Amino acid sequence: MREVRTFSQICNLAYLHESDNIITTHGFADGDESLHNKIAIWDSKTLKKKTILSGHIQRVIYLTVNNNGRIAVTGSSDETLRFWRLNNEKERFEP
């Protein structure tokens, strides 16, 4: 078993089967601001951060991912929903 310290409140976690990654959403940070109110994608084998998605300005408290793991929807206490393309490096956010 492995563990990784995020230095941030973890609000949600989901496994992305197709890409073999883990997606987490975050809120309050403890010192390290890198994940404060952000979404992170992790390699499930190494637990290294692959991508950090920014856009919310408050805690990301809701997460759902479609069946093929290509689109995520997040909800935040900043009263926004954001739609994310997880399989496209160049265009992560879809308004």
pLDDT digits (tens, 9 = 90+) for 9-43: 999 999 999 999 999 999 998 876 789 999 999 99
Q: Write down the domain spans for the chain.
A: 8-94
- Name 51's Cβ contacts closer than 8 Å, sequence gap at least 6: 40, 41, 92
Q: In what order do the strands lie in the sheet with 81-85?
A: 60-65, 71-76, 81-85, 93-94
* 22 contacts 15 by C-beta, under 8 angstroms: yes
Write down the pTM of the prediction: 0.87
pLDDT band at 95 (very low <50, low <70, confident <90, very high): very low
* Helix count and strand count (H, E) for the chain: 0, 8
